[in-house]
């Protein structure tokens, strides 16, 4: 990657170049800071490549924190069960709380960026679906770590964002479109993880999968790779969730799963 001559590079292009360098170096905070400059310089009218880099930067930042939180949560539960009342569990809880705070701050940061700047400037179609999907994702991440008194609120906010995105996607995007398929995948995960309903997750995922397959004859070459990858993920999740439903039915808990 080589920048153009400094005298001909606009502040927006320079910030985007720095963000791409930060992406290659996996410096996600730096990438986010530079992309905020791009958002301001463009008045929040981002290209598809710029939108994707915003998404990638926040996804990687929060992904690392979510993984750390899960590990610490598991360790805390294990320590509490094995040695209740000992200092070890309290120390792990402190570490988990610090990660929780960092993750919540990162989620609130991207949600503010979307609601205050990106969505108000978004064009109908893919762009609007893209940002509402991101809202659904990050409210879902907040749900995962929230205290019991806040979980219902984040679950509802996530559901509203996904429903808005899906309704808009059905009216504006082809069934094979990667953004529509990615939304269907994450919305199905919401039903599985937040609602504990593999039945509803399977219903949504199968509908999206079948519609996309029926429309594959119209799939352009530049979308095929991403679309096929997401279809494979949908298929894998359908297999997993169908197995969960069968196991629940066999144990007599089918209604609970639904």
Q: Is the pLDDT of residue 90 over 70?
A: yes
Q: Is the pLDDT of residue 255 over 80?
A: no
41 with 12: CB under 8 angstroms? Answer: yes
129 with 91: CB under 8 angstroms? Answer: no
Q: What is the pLDDT of residues 99-140, one digit of tens each?
A: 999 999 999 999 999 999 999 999 999 999 999 999 999 999
Q: What is the pLDDT of residue 96?
A: 97
Confidence of residue 219 (pLDDT cuts 50, 70, 90): low
Q: What is the pLDDT of residues 153-171, one digit of tens each?
A: 999 999 999 999 999 999 9
Q: What is the pLDDT of residue 83?
A: 86
Q: Is the pLDDT of residue 256 over 50?
A: no
Mean pLDDT, range 6-22, rounded to an integer? 89
Average pLDDT, the chain: 92
Q: Where are the domains of the chain?
A: 9-163, 174-258
50 with 41: CB under 8 angstroms? Answer: no
Mean pLDDT, range 32-40, rounded to an integer? 98
Q: What is the pLDDT of residues 43-66, one digit of tens each?
A: 999 999 999 999 999 999 999 999
Q: Is the pLDDT of residue 229 over 50?
A: yes
Confidence of residue 220 (pLDDT cuts 50, 70, 90): low
Percent of the chain with pLDDT over 70: 93
Q: What is the pLDDT of residue 207?
A: 97
CATH class of 9-163: mainly alpha
Q: Is the pLDDT of residue 253 over 80?
A: no
Q: What is the pLDDT of residue 5?
A: 47
Q: What is the pLDDT of residues 232-246, one digit of tens each?
A: 999 999 999 999 999
């Amino acid at each position: 990657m080589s920048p153009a001559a400094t005298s001909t590079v606009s502040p927006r292009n320079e910030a985007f170049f720095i963000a791409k360098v930060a992406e290659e170096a996996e410096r996600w905070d730096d990438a986010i800071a530079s992309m905020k400059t791009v958002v301001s310089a463009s008045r929040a009218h981002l290209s598809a490549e710029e939108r994707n880099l915003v998404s990638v930067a926040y996804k990687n930042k929060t992904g690392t924190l979510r993984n750390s939180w899960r590990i610490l949560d598991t360790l805390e539960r294990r320590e509490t069960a094995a040695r209740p009342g000992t200092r070890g569990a309290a120390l792990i809880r402190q570490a988990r709380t610090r990660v929780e705070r960092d993750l919540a701050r990162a989620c609130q940061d991207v949600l503010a960026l979307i609601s205050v700047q990106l969505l108000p400037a978004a064009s109908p179609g893919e762009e609007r679906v893209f940002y509402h999907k991101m809202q659904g994702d990050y409210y879902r991440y907040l749900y995962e770590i929230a205290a019991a008194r806040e979980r219902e609120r984040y679950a509802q906010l996530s559901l509203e964002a996904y429903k808005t995105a899906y309704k808009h996607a059905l009216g504006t995007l082809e069934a094979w479109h990667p953004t529509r398929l990615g939304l269907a995948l994450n919305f199905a995960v919401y039903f599985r993880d937040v609602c504990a309903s593999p039945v509803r997750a399977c219903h949504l995922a199968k509908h999206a999968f079948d519609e996309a397959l029926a429309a594959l004859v119209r799939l352009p070459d530049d979308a095929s790779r991403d679309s096929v990858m997401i279809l494979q993920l949908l298929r894998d999740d359908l297999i997993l969730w169908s197995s969960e439903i069968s196991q629940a039915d066999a144990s007599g808990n089918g209604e609970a799963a639904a």
